[in-house]
Chain A
Amino acid sequence: MPLPKTSRRPTTSDDSLMAVMTYLQAISDGLRQEMRRDKRVFVIGEDVGVYGGAFKVTQGFQEEFGPWRVIDAPLSETAIVGGCTGAAIMGMRPVAEMQFADFISCAWDHLVTVAAKQRYRAGTPVPITVRLPSGGGFSGGPFHSQNPESSFAHIPGLKVVCPATPADAKGLLIEAIQDPNPVLYFEHKHLYRRIKDEVPDERYTVPFGEARVHREGDDLSVITWGAMVYTADEAAQKLDEEGISVEILDLRTLAPWDKEAVLRSVEKTSKALVLHEDTLTGGFGAEIAATIAQEAFENLDAPVRRVAAPDTPVPFAPVLEKAFIPQVDDVVAGLRELADY
């Protein structure tokens, strides 16, 4: 059944309705629209049905779509993703919810060994979307605060999406559901109710692999994604008061990622800082820094800097967690280093 043609970008024309939504509402809105539009789409996860999800993303979904399209799964991520893989191979469009992104390690085998390689091995598309509430900032401790995006960005055959704004959250989720590949959709818990913005009512998609210039600047480039976009923005405002102009690039998706946009920005500023909430070593920032070093070497006026969490589990204590997750001051310090270089 051919899908109706859809717009690729959120439109802001006068005739489209815009509502202010939280990041969480935008995810919920996108998911609901896609379920209404496409009968193949169903959700499965722990407590997503009767309870409406641990974070209430699917609240009211079971009432509207029934228990066969909003399925409460047992406490087994292996079963959830394994079931989704089978359903996807049979032509469905499952949207799985991990209660916390941290738990996806249980589903590693199904995702990495089966889903990511099925298309390559057998030519069968595996259109799964796995929603992954990720990130810290509220004392969730080591099992409920991680950002495991780089592990999956490393796996060929998987796509990795990390929206930062409500509008992107909706558009990227719909794009993920209609994508014929397994897509890991990292939704940052700390943004759920904190970030509100206008979101078009209509259905739209945001294409993968296109970075968003969150803030334009001339002197320094910050390349980041997810909740760190807002940390970077606050840091940029502080530097702006000192007359240093910072450009912030929100990658939006890591696999694929918008290399050209990064190289363009670095060509302009010649100084780059890569920022992520995930731990430093082997984080996706390493890939970006290496790419800049290799492909923009002659445009560099300073070494590429990385600001990321230290290589430890996420601490539980609020003070320690604050020391762990990159804060505005950490980013300011890193940017000053670059500016002074």
Chain B
Amino acid sequence: MATPVSNPAGAPCNIGPRIAIRGNVSGEEDLVIEGRVEGSIALTGHLTVTAGAVVEADLEVDSVDIHGQLEGDIVAATTITLHEGCRVAGNLRAPRVVITDGAQFKGAVEMDVQLPGGLQRQQRR
């Protein structure tokens, strides 16, 4: 049997469709979830939640693409993308949040918005 190379590029990390994880997942590489995860996920890489995947967890990631179901708050360092067919309930916080046509989402969105000078003064009052 060939031994798979143990590096992020050679062995992409994925949770298959018939696997369920309950607990905390953390790491420093990209992760693809096709199955079920309950708990929390902290990743310095990219997370993909595929169509058919069910995630009930708070996410802290670099960036995330969601095609499946997710319940939980998402904090991303770069981008959150909700794709067509996804169902997401929770609060999103990232510099860039993309919600495409056909995505279902319930929750709050928070981006670091740079308001023009005048508006910023108004907001402070």
Q: Does A associate with B in a complex?
A: no
